[in-house]
Structure 1
Amino acid sequence: MQFAGWLTVVVIVLEASLRVGLSLRVLLRGLPTAVTTSWIVLILVFPIVGSVAYLLVGESRIGRRRLLRERAVHPAYADYLAQLRHKTEHMAHELSAVDQRLAREAEAADGLPVLGGNDVRLLPDAAACFDAFIEAIESAERWVVLEFFIWDTGGRVAEVAEALVRARARSVECRVLVDAVGSRAFFRSEQARTLRAHGVHIVAALPTGLGKAPLFRRVDHRNHRKLLVVDDRLAIVGSMNMADPAHFKTKAGVGAWIDLMAVVRGPIVELLSLVTIRDWETEAREDLTERREILRRCCLKAAGAMAVQVVPSGPGLGAGGKGGIQGLVLSAIYAADKKLTITTPYFVPEPSVVTALQSAARRGVEVVIIVPKRSDTVLTHFAGRAFFGELLEAGVQIAEFAGGLLHTKSIVVDDEIALFGSVNLDPRSFYLNFELTTIIYDNDATRAIHARQQAYLEQSTMIDPAAWNSRPLSRRLASNIAQLFSPVL
């Protein structure tokens, strides 16, 4: 046989081995049926593209070196939490039986307990958010930490950068941790160079590139958190990136981004500080033992009467890295007795979430889901709409927000419990991204978040089930094709 013939045989054998080997690997992982089927079809039908895609993003590998850094930080983190529980024994907070069950599950996800004595104030709009960012930085005496997925330099973000420069002039320690992909343009910007020149520490979270061993870790894990912490006494958390809606993605044709952010004061800020310390030590490889010791000696002071809990989730150590946030969302849905309102910009629910929503509607819960009418991600937009039919049939109400890109991620259960933060109802937030969720066990604060949801609803149009079922064939086909990729979006 000539060389060309042998080469053909070798290529055929290698291709077949690749298909069979990766298909068996997918089967042995015990993934949900939809995910398993999607990957196997992709690998068998498009062996080269499918195999490369699976090696890059098919498994939730965060990399051995990063995992070792997490393990090195974890003992100090666990020891701190043990002492925190002792320190907060005097801070009583009354929770209902339903609240207690959800709080226990949230604590199991990543070890952070619910704390009383807090105050949470919602910010009305993006302008108020930037005012709060700047005011918080201007008030800093010791340190400021900003952790965001996207840092876009346009608009009022420049004012935030100027506030950081002024803080450095007062010898305030300033740290900025932003995602390597979401903030790629920022690292090459004049704004970043100016901040560094004035002593602001800037670190890229989860860097990618040829030198980062992409075949040995998944390349699309992202730090999706959004928070600012000042002096362990004040934090700003929610869904908004460090981006001015008046300047950010204005050519996308989706309108201004609409977010929910809140100023938080009280003992829970100490835990938010701890989240930033752990993230910084892991990403920057800088030992912040002294910073953690100062936090440990901090005397917790009540700033209000609200019981609040924070849940940092993501791949890696702890139950929070094994779909813990998904379990928490499911528990919140199943806990609903009268009303459940959800807002999410990216709605690509897993079968378990669809079942939970259907179950809630069928047992008489008023279930309302508000999503943006237009999205900046076409595939996600159509994939999510493939689930609308079965949800509408079960009695779930779905509204499309027309006032911009609704980016608020929130769940309100019976006006008693509210979850808000950076988590979308999609597999990426459940399994791949490092996210942050704030849970409020307070009727007044929960009603305030629900009022914001109702304001969104006033700018939305309810989807009529009959009209939805009679939509054009082309749209139904687009949704069903996109749905095939939903488990891997």
Structure 2
Amino acid sequence: MISSISAPLLIHVGLAFALSLRILYRKLQVNTALAWIVVLIAMPIAGPVLYGLFGAHSLGQRRLKIGQRIRRYYQKAYAVARADGVDLAGIAEPFGALAGSIARESGFPVLARNAYTILTDAGEILESMGRDIDRAQSDCCLEFYIIDPSGRVEAILDAVLRAASRGVSCTILADDYGSKPFFRSVWPARLRAAGVNVIHSLPVAVIKSFSKRSDLRNHRKLLICDRSVAYTGSFNLVDPHLFKSGSHVGEWIDLMMRVEGQMVDAIACVFNADALLDTPESKDWRTVIGNRAQDRDLPALPFDARKAASPDSRILMQLLPSGPEMADATIFEFIVAAIFNARRRVRIVTPYFIPDQAVLLALKSAAKRGVAVEIIVPEKVDTRIGQYASEASYEELLGAGVAIGRFTGGLLHAKAVLIDEGVTLFGTVNMDMRSFYLNLELSLILYDRQISADLDTIIDTYAARSTMIDKAAWSARPRAQRFLENLLRLAGPLL
């Protein structure tokens, strides 16, 4: 009987069994583990290959450990870790306790001496960035998931060239996959010729795919000038008039925050770690970190303490970097805990909404206990798989009393979570498993009523251009659409 079983089938069964055991010992989330086991069993050749390429969430233990050491080093050098000792008692519970937990895990405490400006228009964002780059005197650091060197973005790259020509130390860190148009253009050569340090972040290569997951992406977006001003938010370095104009989803709508003060030092710590870890010349930073003299020689990275005075204003902010380079999924834990502890309202704006069971439970629980829960997503996104996987959760949420609006004015790419009146999550994180576990992300947690009010006003303008989904009408959607939603929902844990 055994001899009649084909050798390929035996190999498939043995390989699927071995990899399934590995998945079980990794203690992944149940839905993710089950999804991978189904893929391994159902796809004899492709399953193991896909798992080998995309199954591991880690960038490698070596990068994890060295990254932590680099961040801690700069947190100490910039006096971030011991900054003003903000009294967390002023933050409503349990968010004060959550803030303390984040500080212990990440090394980034709540910082008080900050100022901010929220930018909503792409032209305004690009012009403001260009002005600050032109004012830079010592260093200019850019880190983006997507750099598309066309249209109005060329003015930003020209500003970097001008900065380098006057002796400013300039570094551009761009995701290797997301910024393919940039790396394939003439711009990297022009920038390097001018003395700009251009770095591929998380480079993609066939050989490397066998040793670490190849679709882990650097999804961060930030700009730092002279460590006196920084930008972060959802905006990629693109011109929305031109970017993906053929995808028929409209122009991308983004939010960016310009910050001054202590938060700039915290953002600089993250940039320095990212740049060092992706610099090809770095062989082993374990022999470098801790030696101040050698750190002064690191390429195009600011080391000295920030000279700009911090604002007198008291605006509480906390930085939370996240992704597979971090030991825990702290961003996911914070979002779930924040929603469960909301008392009056939860307001979410996100382009990609593919929640897992924990997020779904938190949202439904909040709505059922009388919390006003509102989610605003784009009417159309640039991926049909993501669209259907997102829509699979709508009926369940609508049934619990969650309001869902679909923005009709373009691809709403802004990302924010507002809890009650004084806690806001702002930055690069989408409400999906990829952002929670796979991408390198950067979030600001803002404990300030005025920021919440400002973002509320902005989100009101999004809501005014949105169509609210009617529960009865949604229940009557075609069976074919329901089937696609349910089918692609199975891929949610792997997206």
Report 1:424-463 matches (<5 A).
424-463=430-469
Instruction: Supply the distance in 2 between the matched residues of 1:49 and 1:210 (Cα, whole angstroms).
Output: 16
Written as runs of structure 1 = structure 2, the 5 A alignment for 1:58-457 is 58-63=55-60, 66-67=63-64, 69-70=66-67, 73=70, 76-77=73-74, 79-80=76-77, 83-89=79-85, 94-212=90-208, 214-284=209-279, 285=281, 289-290=295-296, 294-296=303-305, 298=307, 301-318=310-327, 322-457=328-463
Instruction: Provide TM-score, normalisation by structure 1.
Output: 0.93
Following TM superposition, by how much is the alpha carbon of 1:35 offset from its aligned partner in structure 2, in angstroms?
Answer: 1.4
CA separation in 2, counterparts of 1:70 and 1:425?
25
User: d(CA) in 2 for partners of 1:78 and 1:13?
Assistant: 53
- Shift of the 243–7 alpha-carbon distance from structure 1 to 2, 3 Å rule, reads farther
What percentage of residue pairs aligned between the two structures are identical?
37
Q: 1:255 to 1:185 in 2, by over 3 A?
A: same
Per-residue CA deviation, residues 39-69 of structure 1 (Å, 9 max, x unaligned), is: 1111111121111111111121313553464
Paired with 2:467 and 2:192, the residues of 1 have a C-alpha distance of: 46
After alignment, is 273-282 or 55-64 more displaced? 55-64
- Counterpart CA distance in 1 for 2:86 and 2:385 is 50
Alpha-carbon contact 2:86-2:112 (below 8 Å) kept: no
- Larger mean Cα displacement after TM superposition, 94-103 or 423-432: 94-103
Listed one character per residue, the Cα deviations across residues 6-47 of structure 1 (whole Å, up to 9, x for unaligned) are 998433321221121112222332222221221111111112
Distance 1:158 1:293 in 2: 25
Whether the 8 Å contact between 1:382 and 1:479 is mirrored in structure 2 is yes
Equivalent-residue separation in structure 2 for 1:43 and 1:92 (angstroms): 48
Q: Does the C-alpha gap of structure 1 residues 78 and 263 become closer, same or farther in structure 2, counting only changes over 3 Å?
A: closer
Structure 1 CA distance for aligned equivalents of residues 413 and 100 of structure 2:
28
The 1:303/1:259 distance shift into structure 2, 3 A limit, reads farther
Instruction: Figure out how many residues of one structure are paired with residues of the other and give that number.
Output: 480
- State the distance in 1 between where 2:369 and 2:341 align: 12
C-alpha contact (below 8 Å) 1:91/1:116 kept by paired residues: no
- Aligned partner of 1:387: which letter? S
Q: Distance between the aligned counterparts of 1:317 and 1:239, measured in 2?
A: 21
Task: Say if 1:91 and 1:115, in contact at 8 Å, map to a contact too.
Answer: no
User: Taking structure 1 as reference, are residues 429 and 457 closer, same or farther at Cα in structure 2, changes over 3 Å only?
Assistant: same
- Superposed CA RMSD in Å reads 2.3
Residue by residue over 1:126-175, the C-alpha shift from the partner in whole angstroms, topping out at 9 and shown as x without a partner, is 11000111011011010000000000011110000110111111100110
Residue 55 of structure 1 is aligned with which of 33, 52, 55? 52
Gaps of 5+ in 1: none
Distance 1:15 1:455, change over 3 A: same
Distance 2:387 2:112 in 1: 39
1:308 & 1:67 partners in 2: Cα distance? Answer: 25
In 2, the alpha carbon distance for the partners of 1:308 and 1:93 equals: 15
Superposed CA deviations along residues 270-325 of structure 1, whole A, max 9, x for unmatched, are 1111111111111115567227884447575225221111111111343xxx2111
- 8 Å Cα contact 2:95/2:338 also seen in 1: no
* C-alpha distance in structure 1 between counterparts of 2:224 and 2:268, whole Å: 6
> Residue 29 of structure 1 corresponds to which residue in structure 2?
26
Aligned residue number for residue 46 of structure 1: 43
How far apart in 2 are the matches of 1:293 and 1:230?
A: 10
Q: Deviations over 1:219-247 (max 9, x none)?
A: 11110000100111101110010011001
Secondary structure at 1:133's aligned position in 2?
helix
TM-score normalised according to structure 2 size: 0.92
Contact 1:180 1:204 in 2 (8 A): yes
Task: Identify if the C-alpha distance between structure 1 residues 158 and 392 changes in structure 2 by more than 3 Å, giving closer, same or farther.
Answer: same
State the distance in 1 between where 2:31 and 2:303 align. 48
Contact 1:176 1:200 in 2 (8 A): yes
**Bigger CA drift: 218-227 or 35-44?**
35-44
Relative to structure 1, the CA distance from residue 248 to residue 413 in structure 2 (aligned partners, 3 Å threshold; closer, same or farther) is: same
Counterpart amino acid of residue 489 in structure 2: Q
CA distance 1:66–1:189, shift in 2 (3 Å): same
- 8 A contact 1:398–1:463 mirrored in 2: yes
Residues in 2 aligned to 1:304 and 1:7: alpha-carbon distance in whole angstroms: 78
- Match for 2:91: what amino acid? L
| SS, match of residue 194 in structure 1 | helix
Instruction: Compute the displacement of 1:414 (Å).
Output: 1.4
Report the Cα distance in structure 1 between the residues aligned to 2:168 and 2:4, rounded to whole angstroms: 65
Alpha carbons of structure 1 residues 93 and 192: separation in structure 2 relative to 1, 3 Å:
farther
> Which shows bigger deviation, 91-100 or 336-345?
91-100
Does the residue aligned with 2:24 lie in a helix, a strand or coil? helix
More displaced, 366-375 or 64-73? 64-73
Give 3-state SS (helix, strand or coil) of 2:353's partner: coil
Look up the equivalent residue of 1:26 and give its one-letter code: I
